[in-house]
Structure 1
Amino acid sequence: MDPFSIALLSIFGMLALMALGIPVAAAMISASAVGLWASVGPGFTLTTLTTLPFATASSYNFAAVPTFVAMGIIAGSTGIVSDIYRSADMWLARMRGGLYFATTCASAGFSAINGSTIVGAALFTRIALPEMIKLGYDKAASAGSIAAAGTFAAMIPPSITMVLYGVLTNESIGQILIAGVLPGLLTAVIYIIGIMIFVRVFPHWAPPSDRRFPLGERIRSLKTVWPILVIAFIVVGGIYSGLVSPSAAGAVGAMAALLVTIVMRRMNVRTFGQAMADSASTTAVMFFIVIGGLAFSRLLLITGFVDDVLTGIEAMELSAFVLLLVMISIYLVLGMLMDPVSMMVMTVPIVHPIVTGLGYDPIWFAIIMVKLIELSCITPPVGLNLFVVAGTTRGLVSIKDVFRGVLPFIFLEIVVLTILIAFPQIVLILPTLMLR
């Protein structure tokens, strides 16, 4: 059997295993093992399966993953998120739908020190959703807004998604992280504008607000925001200035988060131990998936599958833009069926060389990919954030409610995606300045 056919059968075999309920990482490793065995023999296959896990787990490039995870979990477990939300709520309480705006702004702020969409969605579900329902907000729209705002963590640095993308493609992690700043802020602004429209078009989303807070109390609430600003400045500022490498930035940020929480007297031995345990378990799951993806990408490299696909695409003589739209459409469908990390690890080794071969800027496409990952987190029926929100409510909101409430925010994400495709300089301006 020729190498291309082996790679193609391996892809179908992997999809079949996932359809049978086999975990994605196990499906990728199994398909890779069989494909490598058929194409290059048992010796190389056994060598790959015995050396790749250690090489991946011990790689300095991956050091940012557990440290970024730890930074977000440390900050989230010590009440910093509640402080941000309370301050945003005080300043925005007068507006109709003020809690939607507070959730959006607080989620964007927390995303500057949290690289995980799951952590953000779970925390704000516990903090914001009960208050929203108590004040008469539509529970479906409330849950949908929280699930959607949680995706900011994928775009606003520090982002674990961006780190993984950089490692998988050998692109500059620092440039990818910095490239996400303006698109992340743009997403938050589009959400705010969209919510302003939604609460007027759908009055049942939120009742008129009669809540007021004295100016002095609102100003005092800003004192609780300083931890976020300090940690974000250390991490993002360090990467942008070049003083801190992207791999080291996670460790620096995690230490900054730990020191800040100690200064605020919110960290004790029990909280620290639980945060480390949560960080370790989350990191282990992610590494298992990454190892499977790297094994599968090695199979595709050895069989020449990507080169053959690229040659076939060139023979079709389609424009680069049409091919880009086709890829985006495929990812929108995949996002309905797969979790974001698995989707990225499985497809990036195939898609990245094709896109760069078409002449697109790899940093720009990295941000487009991250935006598609955001969409996959909130796209039914497998949107990860949707199940996190529904599970965290403990029966207060059904998964059907979350599915219904998130639909308007999926539309807003598509609007942002369209803007980023139409105006690539929004993505590229900061990385370009960073190189000077």
Structure 2
Amino acid sequence: MDPFTVALLAIVGMLVLMAAGIPVAVAMIAASAAGMLSSVGLGFTLTTFRTLPFATGSSYAFAAVPTFVAMGIIAGSSGIVADVYRSADMWLARMRGGLYMATTCASAGFGAINGSTIVGAALFTRIALPEMIKLGYDRAASAGCIAAAGTFAAMIPPSITMVLYGILTNESIGQILIAGLLPGVLTAVVYLVGIMVFVRISPRWAPPSDRSFSLGERVRSLKSVWPIGIIAFIVVGGIYSGTVSPSAAGAVGALAALLVTIVMRRMDMPTFSRAMADSAATTAVMFFIVIGGLAFSRLLLVTGFVNDVLGGIEALGLSPALLLLVMVFVYLILGMLMDPISMMVMTVPIVHPIVTGLGYDPIWFAIIMVKLIELSCITPPVGLNLFVVAGTTKGLVSIREVYRGVLPFVFLEVVTLSILILVPQITLYLPTLMLR
């Protein structure tokens, strides 16, 4: 059978298996094995599946994944994130919709020490949602805000999504991480402006605020911000200066988070044990998906599928700008149907060579991809953060309400994505400085 046909049938088979409810990692591995057997034979297939899992698990580059996960979970378990949220709330209490803004600011701050969107969404559902509902905020909008702000962890370094993207494409993980800093700040600013507009267009979102805190209380609340500031400075500053490699930054950050929480007397042995267990479980799921994705990308490589697709696109004569627009549209559709990590692992090996072959900057496109991954986390019906928020509320907010409440924030994400596409210098400025 023609290798291109084999790869195409493998893709179709994988999608059929996923539609049938088979776990994504299992579907990718099964499709990869069947495709390799059909195209390159039993020997190559057995060699691949004997060596690939060990090579992935023992790769130094992947050391960043469990350590970034551990850093975020340790910080979240200690209560320092709740302190940051309370401080932001004090400073923004007088503004209508201040709790939405406080959630946005605190999520952005937590994103600087947390690489997982799931951890961020679940944590702020427990911290912020009860207070929002108590003060008369719209339930749907509150849940939507929390789900959307949780995605900041994907864009603001350190980010597990960026680390995986760098591993899958062999691009510089350090440059990708630093490139996400300004787009992450831009996303938070767009959210703040958007919230100010939304609460005026739709007053039911939030009642007028009658809360206020003295200047002294607000200044004293800033004392709770220093732990996150120190951890973020160590991780992001270490990567930017070249003092710490991206693979080692997670370990350094996790150690810093542990030491800070111990000094603050926020970490005891039972809490630490639970954090480590949660980190191990999250990491295991990610690695299983990554192994399946790497096996599938190897199938596409040996069959020459990517080169054939690139040649076909060139034959169509589409302009690079039009092709990019088509890719964005396809990813928006995929985001409604697949979880973000699976979508990235399955598609990046196909898309990345095509995009770089058309002359786009790979670091810039990495950030565009991460922004699309953010969108996939909050686009109904299969938005991972939406299910996390609905599940964490334990029936307080229905999944339908979360769907409705997140739509305005999906619009804000599209606005931010458009800005990043039109002004690539926002993404490339800091990585360019790193090269000097």
For 2:110, the equivalent position in structure 1 comes to: 110
For 1:336, the equivalent position in structure 2 comes to: 336
Task: Give the superposition deviation at 1:213.
Answer: 0.8
For 1:151, the equivalent position in structure 2 comes to: 151
Calculate the TM-score normalised by the size of structure 1.
1.00
Task: Give the superposition deviation at 1:418.
Answer: 0.2
Task: Give the superposition deviation at 1:349.
Answer: 0.1
The separation in 1 between residues aligned to 2:80 and 2:39, in whole angstroms, is 52
The separation in 2 between residues aligned to 1:329 and 1:352, in whole angstroms, is 16
Question: 2:182 aligned with 1:182, yes or no?
Answer: yes
Q: Give aligned-pair identity as a percent.
A: 83
Task: Give the superposition deviation at 1:109.
Answer: 0.3
For 1:35, the equivalent position in structure 2 comes to: 35
Task: Give the superposition deviation at 1:214.
Answer: 1.3
The separation in 2 between residues aligned to 1:217 and 1:144, in whole angstroms, is 29
Calculate the TM-score normalised by the size of structure 2.
1.00
The separation in 2 between residues aligned to 1:147 and 1:318, in whole angstroms, is 36
For 1:15, the equivalent position in structure 2 comes to: 15
Aligned-CA RMSD value: 0.3
Deviations 1:380-401 (A, max 9, x none): 0000000000000000000000
Question: 2:428 aligned with 1:428, yes or no?
Answer: yes
Alignment of 1:57-206 (within 5 A): 57-206=57-206
The separation in 1 between residues aligned to 2:217 and 2:139, in whole angstroms, is 29
The separation in 2 between residues aligned to 1:15 and 1:396, in whole angstroms, is 34
Amino acid at match of 2:100: Y
The separation in 2 between residues aligned to 1:50 and 1:402, in whole angstroms, is 43
Deviations 1:156-201 (A, max 9, x none): 0000000000000000000000000000000000000000000000
For 1:400, the equivalent position in structure 2 comes to: 400
The separation in 2 between residues aligned to 1:142 and 1:277, in whole angstroms, is 30
Amino acid at match of 2:20: L
The 3-state SS of whatever aligns with 1:145 is: helix
Alignment of 1:365-404 (within 5 A): 365-404=365-404
The separation in 2 between residues aligned to 1:373 and 1:154, in whole angstroms, is 8
Amino acid at match of 1:422: L
Task: Give the superposition deviation at 1:50.
Answer: 1.1
Amino acid at match of 1:151: T
The 3-state SS of whatever aligns with 2:21 is: coil
Amino acid at match of 1:40: V
The separation in 2 between residues aligned to 1:215 and 1:415, in whole angstroms, is 35
Deviations 1:267-318 (A, max 9, x none): 1111111100000000000000000000000000000000000000000011
The separation in 2 between residues aligned to 1:294 and 1:212, in whole angstroms, is 53
For 2:353, the equivalent position in structure 1 comes to: 353
Amino acid at match of 2:27: A
The separation in 1 between residues aligned to 2:267 and 2:203, in whole angstroms, is 42
The separation in 1 between residues aligned to 2:76 and 2:350, in whole angstroms, is 35
The separation in 1 between residues aligned to 2:21 and 2:83, in whole angstroms, is 41
The separation in 2 between residues aligned to 1:382 and 1:249, in whole angstroms, is 32
The separation in 2 between residues aligned to 1:50 and 1:325, in whole angstroms, is 39
For 1:319, the equivalent position in structure 2 comes to: 319
For 1:24, the equivalent position in structure 2 comes to: 24
> After the TM superposition, which parts of structure 1 deviate over 6 Å for at least 4 consecutive aligned residues?
none
Amino acid at match of 2:71: M
Task: Give the superposition deviation at 1:215.
Answer: 1.1
For 1:410, the equivalent position in structure 2 comes to: 410
Task: Give the superposition deviation at 1:228.
Answer: 0.5
214-223 or 395-404: bigger deviation: 214-223
Deviations 1:73-117 (A, max 9, x none): 000000011000000000000000110000000000000000000
For 1:247, the equivalent position in structure 2 comes to: 247
For 1:283, the equivalent position in structure 2 comes to: 283
For 2:54, the equivalent position in structure 1 comes to: 54
Q: What is the total number of aligned residue pairs between the two structures?
A: 436
The separation in 2 between residues aligned to 1:60 and 1:356, in whole angstroms, is 26
The separation in 1 between residues aligned to 2:208 and 2:61, in whole angstroms, is 50
The separation in 1 between residues aligned to 2:273 and 2:287, in whole angstroms, is 21
The separation in 2 between residues aligned to 1:318 and 1:98, in whole angstroms, is 46
**Structure 1: gaps spanning 5 or more residues:** none
**Structure 2: gaps spanning 5 or more residues:** none
